């Protein structure tokens, strides 16, 4: 096991800058996921750690040892690729054992006929076979050892690729979107298997994906990348609840977070649609800000209230029934895009299109970002806020 440290990593392809001084510390035994949209530089960064790509500037340390000058095979890391890269003419056992064969047997010993009669070959083959069997048992693929890759399902091939990496006992596992070729149901199962494997092995895992569900469910920490830069590195729940930037807030979470324009008053409170919200931030008066609220933080209620003049917040413009949850789109006067509310299907009864509704949320669920998309610090907690005031002044 080993820690991995990156210091100001920069990489350009011709005139296009891919990585802009990325620095990152990955602890010994940690599961860290690099997540971001396609083209953000996450796979390039992983290949630089593995030694498959040469960076232009910066330092890579594995186990406190600089490895910038070392070839991939000398870095003691194992890479699992998106395509699995299995040899089709080899059996599962031969694919898993290949790294040990290449490491422990010389060219003559690897020959199919002459190698078998050379001194020491039989003993080494028995040792390699024993280690291959042990890894196969851990992954639950012992019954597949005599098959070839073409006879395996996508999930089985993925486990063989993991086995080939495991048999080397590397200091770190590097995984480049290994589940992207699996169907949705199998991907959920494979996520659980990889997380369990990490817990049992206790080895450093660095995992690359564009799928936020994979990042959120498996990782100790998530590193969100965009445009060749790290925007935030934190535990999954912190990334979700306290995004450092509006870009992170929008990227993490499905459906996307609701965003509303607002500005800061002289007392630090946020004003939305002409109404004061009980949310105070550290910003100058008059500062234009953006308020963000997760769909599940919004509460849906009927337009009829106990107030003397029930306000009309808006009307339902779309209903997405997804079985375990329902997404309700609410159009509000004066706002461009409708707000999306995630609700329990049992709580909405016979809700219909064009029905008038009221939306509420609580101050602690509101995030505020400045014009550049940076999160603003809150000054104090407040009371619930009624979004119906958006449409009424």
Task: Tell me the per-residue pLDDT of 106-137, one tens digit each, with 9 for 90 and over.
Answer: 777 777 777 677 777 778 888 989 999 999 98
| 3-state secondary structure (DSSP) of residue 269 | strand
Whole-model pTM: value is: 0.85
Residue 385, classified by CB atoms within 10 Å of its CB into exposed (0-12), middle (13-18) or buried (19+), is buried
- Contact criterion met (CB below 8 Å) for 302 and 357: yes
pLDDT at 187: 84
pLDDT at 266: 87
Task: For tokens 């324009």, name the residue.
Answer: 261
Any idea what DSSP says for residue 264? E
- Contact criterion met (CB below 8 Å) for 358 and 313: yes
Cα diameter, the chain: 96
Q: For the structural domain made of 243-389, what CATH number should be given?
A: 2.40.50.100
pLDDT at 384: 52
Task: To the nearest 10°, report the CA torsion of 113, 117, 118, 123.
Answer: 110
Task: For tokens 């806020």, name the residue.
Answer: 385
Cβ-Cβ contacts under 8 Å for 339 (sequence gap 6 or more): 258, 293, 298, 314, 329, 330, 332, 359, 387
- Contact criterion met (CB below 8 Å) for 226 and 210: no
Tell me the CA distances in angstroms from 329 to 300, 314, 355, one per residue in order. 11, 10, 11
DSSP, residue by residue, 330-367: EE-TT-SSPEEEEE-GGGSTT--TT-EEEEEE-GGGEE
For the chain, residues with pLDDT lower than 70 are 1, 115, 301-313, 380-393
Write out the residue limits of the CATH 2.40.50.100 domain(s) in the chain. Answer: 243-389
pLDDT at 309: 22
- Contact criterion met (CB below 8 Å) for 152 and 144: yes
Task: To the nearest 10°, report the CA torsion of 226, 232, 234, 237.
Answer: -70
Write out the residue limits of the CATH 3.40.50.300 domain(s) in the chain. Answer: 4-240
Tell me the CA distances in angstroms from 232 to 193, 209, 238, 247, 258, one per residue in order. 26, 15, 10, 10, 20
Q: Which CATH architecture has domain 4-240?
A: 3-Layer(aba) Sandwich (3.40)
- Contact criterion met (CB below 8 Å) for 233 and 242: no
Task: Tell me the per-residue pLDDT of 305-348, one tens digit each, with 9 for 90 and over.
Answer: 333 222 336 899 999 999 889 999 999 887 778 999 999 988 88
Q: Which of 304, 279, 387 is nearest to 341 (CA)?
A: 387
DSSP, residue by residue, 90-101: S-HHHHHHHHHH
Q: Which of 170, 172, 176, 147 is nearest to 85 (CA)?
A: 176
| Calpha distance 158→318 (Å, rounded) | 40
3-state helix, strand, coil in the chain (%, to 5): 30, 30, 40
Strands 172-176, 77-80: pairing kind: parallel
pLDDT at 140: 85
- Contact criterion met (CB below 8 Å) for 364 and 302: no
Could you tell me how far CA 176 lies from the centroid of its own chain? 12
- Contact criterion met (CB below 8 Å) for 205 and 178: no
Up-side HSE of residue 299: CA atoms within 13 Å toward CB? 10
pLDDT at 77: 92
| Calpha distance 250→231 (Å, rounded) | 12
Cβ-Cβ contacts under 8 Å for 165 (sequence gap 6 or more): 78, 79, 80, 173
Strands 172-176, 204-209: pairing kind: parallel
């Amino acid at each position: 096991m080993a820690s991995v440290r990156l210091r100001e990593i920069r990489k350009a392809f011709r005139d296009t800058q891919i990585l802009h001084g990325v620095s990152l510390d990955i602890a010994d035994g940690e599961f860290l996921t690099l997540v971001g949209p396609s083209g953000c530089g996450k796979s390039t960064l992983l290949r630089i750690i593995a030694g498959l790509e040469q960076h232009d500037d910066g330092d890579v340390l594995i186990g406190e040892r600089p490895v910038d000058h070392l070839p991939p095979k000398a870095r003691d890391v194992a890479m699992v690729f998106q395509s699995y890269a299995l040899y089709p003419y080899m059996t599962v056992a031969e694919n898993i054992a290949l790294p040990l064969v290449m490491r422990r047997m010389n060219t003559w010993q690897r020959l199919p006929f002459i190698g078998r009669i050379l001194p020491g070959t039989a003993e080494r083959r028995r040792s390699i076979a024993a280690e291959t069997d042990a890894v196969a048992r851990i992954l639950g693929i012992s019954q597949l050892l005599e098959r070839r890759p073409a006879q395996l399902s996508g999930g089985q091939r993925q486990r063989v690729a993991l086995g080939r990496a495991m048999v080397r006992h590397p200091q770190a596992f590097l995984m480049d979107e290994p589940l992207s070729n699996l169907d949705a149901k199998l991907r959920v199962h494979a996520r659980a298997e990889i997380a369990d494997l990490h817990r049992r092995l206790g080895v450093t895992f660095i995992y690359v994906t564009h799928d936020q569900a994979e990042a959120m469910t498996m990782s100790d920490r998530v590193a969100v990348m965009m445009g060749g830069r790290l925007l935030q590195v934190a535990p999954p729940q912190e990334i979700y609840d306290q995004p450092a930037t509006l870009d992170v807030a929008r990227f993490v979470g499905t459906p996307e977070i609701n965003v509303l324009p607002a500005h800061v008053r002289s007392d630090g409170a946020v004003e939305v649609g002409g109404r004061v919200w009980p949310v105070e931030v550290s910003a100058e008066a008059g500062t234009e800000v953006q308020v963000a609220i997760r769909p599940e933080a919004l509460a849906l209620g009927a337009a009829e209230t106990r107030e003397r003049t029930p306000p009309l917040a808006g009307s339902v413009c779309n209903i997405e029934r997804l079985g375990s949850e329902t997404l309700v789109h609410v159009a509000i006067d004066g706002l461009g895009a409708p707000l999306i509310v995630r609700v329990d299907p049992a709580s909405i009864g016979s809700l219909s299109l064009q029905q008038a509704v009221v939306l509420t949320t609580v101050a602690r669920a509101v995030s505020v970002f400045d014009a550049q998309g940076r999160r603003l610090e809150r000054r104090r907690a407040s009371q619930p806020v009624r979004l119906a005031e958006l449409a009424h002044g």
